[in-house]
Structures are given as structure tokens and as C-alpha cells.
Structure 1
Amino acid sequence: MFAWILIGLISGWLAGKILNGNGYGMMADIGLGLLGGIVGGMIFEVLGVRAHNFIGAILMSTAGATALVIATRIIRDEI
């Protein structure tokens, strides 16, 4: 559970930095990172890719969190 929170925190922060924003706050970034892990897992599962280590999990989760941040910005009409 601690590893999931750590991965969520790192990937949420990275997604905010990738998209040139300040993020949505620490709790929202963790939430986006955790949800991003799920979304990233589904995306990469379709592609046949799996994370076998901590770095791979962060990269996969960051990709999903970035997709979620883009989607929320589109929905909120910020793009």
C-alpha cells in the first residue's frame, strides 16, 4: 500500500511537470497518480506491456496520470 501511494505521488507530480502545470494539489496529484496507474495499466495491457519493477510502474502510472490530466483539462475547457 505504501508503494502504491509513493508511486501515485511520484507519477502525479511528474504528470503535472510534464504538462507545465502546478498540479492540482498534493492529494489530487496522488489521486491522479493512483488512477493513472489503473488507466496506464489498462492501456499498456492492451499493448501487451507490463511493469516488472518500480521504475516501470512509475513510468506506466505517469503515462496514465498524464492522460487523465489531459482529459480533465479538456473537460474543464482549459486547453
Structure 2
Amino acid sequence: MNNLIYVLIVGAIAGWIAGEIKRGFGYGLFGNILVGILGAFVGNWLFAQLGVSLGAGLVGVILTAVIGALVLLFVVGLVKRR
């Protein structure tokens, strides 16, 4: 149960930060949590492919999720334009 709470908190923080960085992509609390969680998966996959690590602590996890969420929002923006 603690892991679920941890994932939701990190997802919410990462989604909110990504929404603030990329204006116009705020999806509300639940949307930001979803974007943050999906962004964490994207960020982990992307950095694993590149052989890069941003650290093992909470800050590294949040940065990875934020970067992944930004990549996800970029792709969503491209798809919405078409």
C-alpha cells in the first residue's frame, strides 16, 4: 500500500511540474497523476535505452518522471495537431 501512495505522489508531482513547464497541458489532478505515472515509465525506458541514470533517490525518480512526462506531452501535442 505504501508503494501505491508513493507512486501516486511522485506521479502527481511529476505531472504537475511537466504541466507547468509545458503550458497548456494541464489535465487536472487525476490527469496530471496519470501523465506523471506514464511519464515515469517513458522516462525509465528512455534512460535505460540511453544508458543514463539521474540517480536513485527521490529527486532522481521525480526528474526521470518529469522528463518522461514532457516527452509524452510532446508526442500528445504532435498527435493532436494532425
Q: Give yes or no for TM over 0.5.
A: yes
Give the count of matched residue pairs: 78
Structure 1, gaps ≥5 residues long: none
Instruction: Give, in angstroms, the shift of residue 22 of structure 1.
Output: 5.2
Deviation at 1:73, TM superposition (A): 1.3
Picking from 46, 66, 74, the partner of 1:70 is: 74
Q: Distance in 1 between matches of 2:14 and 2:49?
A: 20
Cα distance in 2 for residues equivalent to 1:69 and 1:42: 16
Structure 2: runs of 5 or more not aligned = none
Equivalent position of 1:40 in the other structure: 43
How far the C-alpha of 1:47 sits from its partner, in A, is 1.8
Q: Deviations over 1:46-70 (max 9, x none)?
A: 1222340000000000000011111
1:10 corresponds to which of 13, 16, 28: 13
CA root-mean-square deviation: 1.4
Give the direction of change, closer, same or farther, for the CA distance of 1:72–1:4 in structure 2 (3 Å limit). Answer: same
Counterpart amino acid of residue 67 in structure 1 = V
- Summarize deviations over 1:10-47 as a string: whole Å, max 9, x none: 00001111112251111111001000000000011112
Which of the pair is proportionally richer in helix?
2
Pick the aligned partner of 2:32 from 14, 29, 51. 29
- Could you tell me the TM-score, scaled by structure 2's length? 0.87
Q: TM-score scaled to structure 1, two decimals?
A: 0.90
Of 58-67 and 19-28, deviating more is 19-28
State the one-letter code of the partner of 2:61: A
